[in-house]
Amino acid sequence: MEVRNGKRTTVATLIEEGGYTGTIKWNGNFEWVRYELRGPKGELLAFLNPIFFGKKETSLQTWHDLRKKVRLEDGQH
C-alpha cells in the first residue's frame, strides 16, 4: 500500500512471494511517500520509512520559535 502525505493512494495485492517494484511520481511540491506491507486481515507486517521530495516551507526553525508561537496563540506573552 502506498501512503502519500498521510493518505492511502495505491493498494496492490501480492499473491506470490517475491519482490515488488514501482515508480514514484512526484508532483513538484513538497511531499512524502511511505509504503506498507499488510497481511490478509489488514495487520501491519512491515513498512518503509518515508521518502521525502522537495523543500518544505516553514516559519519555525527552532524549539524557541515553537514555544514563542504557542505562548502567543494561548494569549500569553
- pLDDT value of residue 76: 66
pTM of the model: 0.62
- pLDDT value of residue 69: 86
- pLDDT value of residue 39: 87
Q: What is the pLDDT of residues 36-75, one digit of tens each?
A: 988 888 899 899 999 999 988 888 889 998 888 888 776 6
The DSSP-derived string for 28-71 is: SSSEEEEEEEE-TTS-EEEEEEEEEES----S--SHHHHHHHHH
Q: How many domains does the chain have?
A: 1
Q: Which residue range(s) make up the domain with 53? A: 2-73
Q: What is the pLDDT of residues 30-41, one digit of tens each?
A: 999 999 988 888
d(Cα 8, Cα 33) in Å, to the nearest integer? 10
